[in-house]
Amino acid sequence: MFPIIDRKRTGIRLRRIMDERGLSIKDVQQYLELGSVQSVYHWLNGLSMPTIDNLYALSELFQMPIDDLVCGNRDNVFAYKSDSQCERISAYYERLNKAA
């Protein structure tokens, strides 16, 4: 099996990064010069993924490597730790949102 990107978990990660940096969906839409915010909502809800160009731009905006923006299913020790950490952070983030 080849590695794939988990859209849902990637969306949760992108939302968390945006929240940590105080960026709104509108901020991201304007930075990427997108026609509407709908694409960003689709990414955050796991319905689609940003294009590679948009991922590259997001990595510049967030000042982090593209690999840190996406969650996947790689079958090695390092990715396993990252995926496990991503799952814990995602679950914690969801609990925080429900409490707010």
Percent of the chain with pLDDT over 90: 65
- Listed in sequence order, the residues at least 6 apart from 88 whose beta carbon sits closer than 8 Å to its beta carbon are none
pLDDT digits (tens, 9 = 90+) for 53-77: 999 999 999 999 999 999 987 654 3
Residue with the bigger pLDDT between 70 and 2: it is 70
Give all domains of the chain, ordered by start, each with its CATH number. Answer: 7-99 (1.10.260.40)
Q: How far is CA 94 from the centre of its chain?
A: 14
DSSP run (H or E) holding 8? helix 7-21
CA atoms 76, 80, 83, 86: torsion sign:
negative
Tokens 């930075």 correspond to 31
Q: What residues does 85 pair with on adjacent strands?
A: none
pLDDT digits (tens, 9 = 90+) for 40-53: 999 999 999 999 99
CB-based contacts of 37-42 (< 8 A; 24+ apart in sequence) = none
Tokens 């840190």 correspond to 68
